[in-house]
A and B are shown apart, each in its own frame.
Chain A
């Protein structure tokens, strides 16, 4: 195409295109090389769209299959007793996972208690203070921690808490989950704090509000929603962890009455029922899996709903 006029350039004389044009003007319908090339480009485009669409479907297929199976197998065992009863010995109907469900919430509460202050404060430091170099190293360390397999956390806390205290406990379970979420919350908090416009800080400082109060009452409050969603996502992620709890929280067939005692948790109970030979326990394991999945899905849904307006669509340079 000519840049000056926007019209197609005339074909060089003697070339196949020129011949085709002549033929075309004479009413003979032979495609020029250009046209077939364009058509090939369109075909390629369509192919790629189809292939990537298939990729997406392939990616979603396991999710659909898993959900379907958990629903099918677990729904039959989900009833009121499941939510209110304690585990029963083998062969006796009517057992439930009430203590495991409550236990999971207790453990998440402990983890939040330990992990959220550390994570949020660390995120504040990364976003607001420090030097670029130091912060890079801290972020790097946090990312390294994010990559540590959860079973290793379990081993560490076993050696650190369970053995010296001579006992498994809810504290140990809370500590291990808390350790796992600290780097997660630190990174998401930092990102959320960075989204708060600089103007807010400057306005507050201009009004004479001290730095720490600016950060806590203005910046933190503005970013609170984003930080909360980060916390919820982190908790949803550790809610399903089994391996670290095996050697820390230990599991409990009864209600937990003291944080120094072992405590039941949903993934632990699911796992121990699943590897048993009893059909009734299998059904309960699938029911537990269903409850856990629904819990985690609910958190993710509410997080998405809360942050819908905040989605950044291709950050544009200004």
Chain B
């Protein structure tokens, strides 16, 4: 019996002596549908490029390096948004990766089976919470709490660092990072868990036989095999983090400036598009927003491609 691996050759490749019309037609149909993904990729790229034409022509490479976002003077530059997107995603990774990996290890190696199933269910439920609901909770519950308790404490303890200086508004780059972290934890956890589970049981048993404790079994037998896959899971989480829109735009402060501290407000590519797309009155403004979308698409595609390459040789589970 073959392993359900992504590298396995197609299963029904054998041709019958006489090719029926029905066979050919069906194969053609499924082939056409499969090619639809290529069609969609081209469609997305084309529409964005088409929409950005004006701005590309007007600003060229300067668009990526300018920090000027001025709808009145019609000067547009994407650097603050690129910074905001990357910074909030990195902060989210800092918070989410240790928690996710710890949880994945707990779920796959240390917890009894029934606990595993119940907790996995709840974590996947967290993944299903729509972004807008999380954003509502963020702005009405999380941000006020952050402003009153953790942020002042952080400033008290770490205030000498420029990263923790400046006035505290509540809505900030850090709040954006935290809410993204909440959103990407489920995917990193479930992918990591699948990867850890796919390590053959024999490896674990061998380690146990040598007298290792549970943690040592995990460290020696499982983690060393799963390193690449886990890294891929993290990059996958990063890919998701880059594209988050609704929840982020409600808690990040929406200020098109490069934030000098974690408490300062910031702005991401996706938030800018969400806030201003319906509003852009002039063609150049709309085109600049399309170009932001193009930059976002480029960044997410690159990151996701990297993640997939890393996960290539590991048994891929059926995750979203």
Contact = CB atoms under 8 A, between A and B. Distances in A.
Interface of A: 1, 41-42, 44-45, 48-49, 51-56, 58-60, 62-63, 65-66, 69-70, 117-119, 121-122, 124-132, 135-136, 138-153, 155-156, 159-160, 179, 182-184, 186-188, 191-192, 194-195, 197-198, 201, 205, 210-216, 230, 233-234, 236-237, 239-243, 246-247, 267, 270-271, 274, 285-286, 289, 292-293, 296-297, 300-301, 304, 308, 311-318
Interface string B23-48: 10111011111111110110110011
27 contacts: A54-B102, A55-B106, A59-B189, A60-B122, A121-B30, A121-B32, A125-B27, A129-B31, A138-B35, A142-B37, A148-B243, A152-B293, A155-B51, A182-B36, A183-B37, A187-B318, A210-B16, A210-B20, A236-B128, A242-B130, A243-B131, A267-B132, A274-B136, A296-B129, A314-B198, A314-B201, A317-B200
Contact of B318 (A159, A191, A197, A237): A191
A156 B160 CA distance: 46
Contacts of A60: 119, 122-123, 126
Contacts of B318: 187-188, 191-192, 230
B64 interface: no
A282 B32 CA distance: 47
Given A62-B182, A132-B7, A150 B245 contact: yes
A52 B304 CA distance: 27
A129 B274 CA distance: 40
A53 B30 CA distance: 46
Nearest to B316: A191
A187 B311 CA distance: 15
Interface stretch (B74-82, B209-217, B259-267): B209-217
B315 interface: yes
A308 B103 CA distance: 21
B47 A297 contact: no
B12 A129 contact: yes
Contacts, number: 319
B129 A66 contact: yes
Given A139-B6, A192-B318, A210-B22, A151 B270 contact: yes
Interface of B: 1-4, 6-14, 16, 20, 22-23, 25-27, 29-38, 40-41, 43-44, 47-48, 50-51, 98-103, 105-107, 110, 117, 119, 121-126, 128-134, 136-137, 140-141, 182, 185, 189, 197-202, 211, 213-216, 218, 239-240, 242-246, 270, 273-274, 277-278, 290, 293, 296-297, 300-301, 303-305, 308, 315-318, 320
Given A149-B243, A241-B131, A311-B117, 10 more contacts: A1-B211, A41-B213, A55-B99, A126-B34, A230-B318, A236-B128, A243-B246, A271-B246, A285-B136, A317-B200
Contacts of A66: 129, 133-134, 137
Contacts of B274: 151, 243, 246
A188 B240 CA distance: 18
Contacts of A143: 304, 308
A148 B214 contact: no
Nearest to A240: B130
Given A300-B128, A314-B197, A155 B215 contact: no
A152 B246 contact: no
Contacts of A179: 40
A236 B197 CA distance: 26
Contacts of A142: 37
The interface centre, meaning the residue of B2, B13, B103, B316 with most chain A CB atoms within 10 A of its CB, is B103
